[in-house]
Amino acid sequence: MTSFGSLFKALSGEKFRNSNFIILIELLYVIVILGLSVFHGASIDLQLSTGILAGAAFIFMSFEFIRLTVLSEKKYTSSTYRLIPVSDTKFYLTNLLSSFVSFVYVGLVQGILFAIAIFTNWNELNHLLSNMSTEVNFSKINTADIFKGFAAMIFVLLAIAILTWTTINLIHLLSKAASNFLPRTGKNLLTFILYVLVIGLVFRVVGFFTDQFSNSMQFFTGPGYNANYLGIWINTLIFLVIAAVEAAISIYLNYRWVDTNNEN
């Protein structure tokens, strides 16, 4: 049987190359936008740099997620990868883990870029916080609660990413399995319906994450942050349980009812 290290390397190689390419394009994008801003007379301050980075992070993290989804789905039905001597469960989970690690990797790069922007404008940040102190009583804000808020936002995002991957994979494999029993017209109709379901799922996930992000921000200013904190972690646990159930169904479908193809 193939070891976990060898399998992870085989499944993550293309994903990490893709991630590095996306990071390179993002850095070029940020440099170009900063250069154009300076050319038009703007000064590189905290607001400009963090604003550009926030926009870039949203664009390229979204693209990274979509690209990882495509690469993962191809591996689940690829005859090349399915020939690897490894158990069904191990292959599925390692493929999912390699996508997760690649996504976190690009996310850490975003954090590093924001940290650079903040520390290069540290004096401006201190001045901004001094002005805010006249409107917000920072002495009432617990540092531990701030870390709770950030932790909640990060883990909710990662849990939603995992749930979205397992859901898309389940829909994909259900369509592949069902297509074996349908004529061509039925296959096309099924594909259309599944596309609609996936688009609807994406909108629901984005809306839910927006609500969870708003709730997690209560750690900074809201009086009921302890209740919000518990609720967010319960939701995160529910997401992961649902993802585990979907993964179990997908593993069964993939190796019992889904035919492989010749794509690598």
Dihedral sign, CA of 87, 12, 175, 186?
A: negative
* Nearest of 190, 187, 177, 205 to residue 69 by alpha carbon: 205
Please provide the DSSP assignment of 162-208 as one string: HHHHHHHHHHHHHHHHHHTTS-HHHHHHHHHHHHHHHHHHHHHHHHH
Report, as an integer, the average pLDDT of 8-16.
Answer: 92
Q: Are 50 and 117 in contact (CB under 8 A)?
A: yes
Amino acid at 237: L
pLDDT given at position 105: 96
Mean pLDDT of the chain: 79
pLDDT given at position 197: 74
Range in 152-166, 209-223, 227-241 with the lowest mean pLDDT: 209-223
Does residue 222 have a pLDDT over 60?
no
Report, as an integer, the average pLDDT of 163-188.
Answer: 76
Please provide the DSSP assignment of 223-246 as one string: TTHHHHHHHHHHHHHHHHHHHHHH
What's the token pair of residue 75? 């591996």
Amino acid at 177: A
Percent of the chain with pLDDT over 90: 26
Q: Which residue has the higher pLDDT, 15 or 78?
A: 15
pLDDT given at position 211: 66
User: What global pTM score does this model have?
Assistant: 0.81
Q: What are phi and psi of 78, to 5 degrees?
A: -80, 130
Give the Cα separation of 12 and 6 in Å (integer). 10
**Residue owning tokens 């997401």:** 239
Does residue 217 have a pLDDT over 80?
no
Does residue 32 have a pLDDT over 90?
yes
pLDDT in tens, 110-156: 999 999 988 887 776 666 666 655 555 555 555 666 677 677 778 87
Does residue 246 have a pLDDT over 80?
yes
Report, as an integer, the average pLDDT of 2-30.
Answer: 93
> Which residues fall within 8 angstroms of residue 2, CB to CB, at 6 or more apart?
84, 85, 86
Report, as an integer, the average pLDDT of 61-73.
Answer: 90
**Residue owning tokens 């099924």:** 190
Terminal-to-terminal C-alpha distance of the chain: 21
Percent of the chain with pLDDT over 70: 71
Does residue 242 have a pLDDT over 70?
yes
Q: Are 152 and 232 in contact (CB under 8 A)?
A: yes
pLDDT given at position 9: 92
pLDDT given at position 128: 65
What's the token pair of residue 148? 């709770």
- Three-state DSSP at 253 gives helix
Cα-only R_g, the chain? 22
What's the token pair of residue 230? 């518990």
Report, as an integer, the average pLDDT of 186-213.
Answer: 68
Does residue 233 have a pLDDT over 90?
no
Q: Are 118 and 32 in contact (CB under 8 A)?
A: no
What's the token pair of residue 110? 């975003």
What's the token pair of residue 207? 């809306």
Give the Cα separation of 6 and 98 in Å (integer). 12
Does residue 183 have a pLDDT over 80?
no
Q: Rounded to 5, what percent of the chain is helix, strand, coil?
A: 85, 0, 15
Does residue 206 have a pLDDT over 80?
no
